[in-house]
Structure 1
Amino acid sequence: MDEREKLRKFRELDDAFAKALKEIETPSKEPANHPQQNFEQRLRVLMGDFKQSDADVNELLKTLLELGRIA
């Protein structure tokens, strides 16, 4: 996989992760009895879709924190 493809995958994962975070902050019309559990399930699905390991997601979160994209 070339650098351009890696960057595209990273951006897609970043966008999907941001969308999942936004959904947590702004609850949908569906009842959410366990928002933390629902978030973790959605995150695991995203990780599977994008073939990302726990270490990859951890690195992504560290990067987003360092860039000030998440608090």
Structure 2
Amino acid sequence: MDEREKLRKFRELDDAFAEALRELESPGSTFDIPTGPPVRSLEAQEQDDEARQQAFEQRLKALMNEYAQPAESVSSLLQTLKSLGRIA
């Protein structure tokens, strides 16, 4: 995409954004936009975290089986990546 096309698309986006702001600020606006993050219960967050953890473990085990890698090898790799700052 050349620079002119990028600039044209940026201007279109900027115009659309400006129009949306004008609509929101108009006195007759019927938009009801929440001002904060969605509220979720701690229990729902914990369930999501647990489901995510289980999905990760299943995928990791499948990859270990697919590439015939023992747990010790994967653990060593993760420790190396962590020491290099590649993962938190």
TM-score interval, smaller chain: 0.5 to 0.7
**TM-score computed with the length of structure 1 as normaliser:** 0.52
Q: In the alignment, which of 24, 35, 51 is matched to residue 68 of structure 2? A: 51
Gaps of 5+ in 2: 1-47
Q: CA RMSD in A?
A: 1.4
User: Are residues 1:38 and 2:55 paired?
Assistant: yes
User: Which residue matches 1:61?
Assistant: 78
Question: How many residues were matched structurally?
Answer: 40
**TM-score computed with the length of structure 2 as normaliser:** 0.43
**Mapped partners of 2:86, 2:66: distance in 1:** 22
Gaps of 5+ in 1: 1-31
More relative contact order in 1 or in 2 (CA 8 Å, sep 6+)?
1
Point out 4+ residue stretches in structure 1 off by more than 6 angstroms.
none
State the Cα distance separating 1:39 from its structure 2 match: 0.4
